[in-house]
Structure 1
Amino acid sequence: MKIKYLMLFPLATIFCLNAQEPVVLSHYLFPEFQPGTVLMKNGTRNSAKLNYNAASEEMVFDNNGTVLAIADAMLPQIDTLFIANEKFIQLNKKFVKIVIDEAETGLFVEHKCKVVPPGKPSAYGGSSQTSSATSYSTYASSGMVYNLKLPDDFKILPYNVFWINLDGKLQSFSNIGQLKRIFRDKKRLVNDYLKANEVNMSDVESVKAAILYLKNN
């Protein structure tokens, strides 16, 4: 797999990696590349087939069968990405999807995943797996995480990190305990809501419903 350098967007240097495997986007956010628009801060709009690689945590696009990722030098020039009916902006140099777009309360989700390689044989007939960090660095450097399909014996473990802008303060949470700490001044309200409703961190809509309730009560 060779790395090439092209000019795709005006003034944008990007790298691309050839993808020749069947299209099974297990570690991508959308099941297939979607028509999208890249809005630059200078007002320029560029159309592309977009998707989000949760393994490499990069926005990528399909250019006639070649997977391309936006270079770091280009990121400061991008304002908003529109994919299907979703909007993405950047927080901490990462693309996040807008869940609630309100002046006083903003909710964003950062889609991530762990790529777990097949286990290595170990004593007593079992197997052991390297840490997610080790597996990611190994397979990212080889370009494997840019393939549209990872080998069948790899496991993809998706998870979400949410960011909430509450009264001008940006905080992150990925579990119920962290959410409770953010709304610690509404402890009883949070507990009552959790007794009546299941909040699943893998379900963006259930988290959105909880935030809207806690904000408005």
Structure 2
Amino acid sequence: MRSDDPGFLSQVWERATAVQPVPDAGFVLLTGVLALVLVLAPATWPRVRLPVTVVHEAGHAVIALLVGRRLQSIHLHSDTSGLMVSRGRPTGPGMVAMLAAGYLAPAALGIGAALLLAAGRGIAMLWLLLLLTAALLLWVRNLYGVLTLLLGGAGIALLTWYASPTAQSVVAYLIAWVLLLAAPRPLIELLGTGRTRRRTTDPDQLARLTRVPALLWTLVLLAANLAGLVTGVTTLAPDLL
């Protein structure tokens, strides 16, 4: 079916807005345990961290646009690092909000995903992720980043169109759990590096802007992510807490 066929667009809309039955607590808990293994296992964490980095840079980009900055580029690298470049006033609340948004974005997106899943809107969640991926493609300026987003977007598109409802639910819940569980880990790793880390991290830049120590910024961001994790867990699996 052609993508410019009104019937095709109607079918896309029907799939994206369909309500699915919320899985039982055992299913939700099982996907949460699997996500925890993916986040904690040394063999899988680098693969999990890359999409977390994508969300991190997307968080910077969205807030940069909202506070009136000019977004120039996003770079994603094979070592799971990323860089978002924007132009605008180098100080002030807007700059602080933009810098803080990166580490907060995975937990915030995870909470949003949890709310959609709890309402039976798992397919809608996947389509929204696809739209976010497409939007980021407009700003990514390196080949590795473009390929990463294309492969990720293609995977989500194929999943929403061809996979069984069970497979769609498994992936949707895994994504939500991974975002929530992975959000605190980069900050914990940052605390572990101590004085040996480079002084270009978001907390270090926030410290220079606000004169609040980088350690305190790291702890505040970590506390916010842990609060986000609790919120997400109570939304996805209210019987656990």
Both proteins in one fold, TM over 0.5:
no
Structure number having the greater helix percentage: 2
Computing the radius of gyration from Cα coordinates, the structure with the larger value is 1
Normalised by the length of structure 1, the TM-score is 0.25
Higher relative contact order by CA 8 Å / sep ≥ 6: 1 or 2?
2
Normalised by the length of structure 2, the TM-score is 0.24
Structure number having the greater strand percentage: 1
